[in-house]
């Protein structure tokens, strides 16, 4: 067997392995999606009753929930267990998201109220519940923002990010935010 044949075989094995991994992620995502559809009404640790799904992100899904002890609404982010993430390291990363966010004390940053892994094995963060429209909803409504409106949005975001960076935290979605406003990605260093 020649070197080219060996490389071609290894390349084919990598392609097949990648395809299997993608199928595994898709299957895990389908299972998580089905799970998140049946979670409303469930109570986590006898403290938080999940009500309606209000958002989905790379790390999980967010629900509006009732804090049963304090009788107030909160947001509960449920960890999305992707293949390879349901490890001590993946759960640690999720836990560190809550700890890192707690270090940011800024009026334009979300407040983390609680974090745990439920008795049924569901990892979650509890956050203050924000009411209002998302940036996407605002953009659909107004189609285009004036420079003044962009400043009204960006200045508070930059203030919160500056506080995060001062605490040594780099938000992993900042590149998406900058791309949204400028059409340019931050160069990877």
Active-site positions?
A: 173
Phi-psi region at 183: left, alpha or beta (left = phi > 0; alpha = psi -120 to 50): left
DSSP state of 40: T
Give me the sheet containing 112-117, strands edge to edge.
43-44, 48-56, 60-67, 72-79, 123-128, 112-117
DSSP readout, 150-179? HHHHHHHHHHHHHHHHHTT---TTHHHHHH
In the block, residue with structure tokens 């990892």: 123
């Amino acid at each position: 067997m020649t070197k080219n044949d060996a490389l071609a075989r290894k390349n084919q094995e990598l392609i097949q392995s990648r395809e299997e991994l993608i199928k595994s992620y898709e299957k895990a995502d389908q299972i998580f999606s089905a799970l998140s559809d049946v979670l409303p009404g469930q109570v986590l640790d006898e403290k938080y009753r999940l009500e309606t799904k209000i958002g989905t992100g790379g790390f999980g899904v967010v629900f509006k929930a009732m804090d049963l002890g304090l009788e107030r609404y909160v947001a509960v982010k449920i960890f999305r267990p992707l293949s390879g993430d349901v490890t001590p390291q993946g759960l640690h990363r999720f836990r560190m998201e809550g700890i890192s966010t707690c270090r940011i004390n800024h009026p334009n940053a979300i407040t983390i109220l609680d974090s745990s892994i439920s008795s049924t094995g569901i990892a979650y963060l509890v956050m203050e519940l924000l009411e209002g429209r998302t940036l996407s909803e605002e953009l659909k409504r107004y189609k285009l923002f004036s420079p003044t409106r962009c400043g009204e949005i960006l200045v508070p975001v930059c203030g919160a990010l500056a506080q995060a960076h001062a605490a040594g935290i780099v938000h992993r979605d900042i590149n998406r935010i900058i791309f949204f406003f400028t059409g340019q990605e931050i160069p990877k260093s």
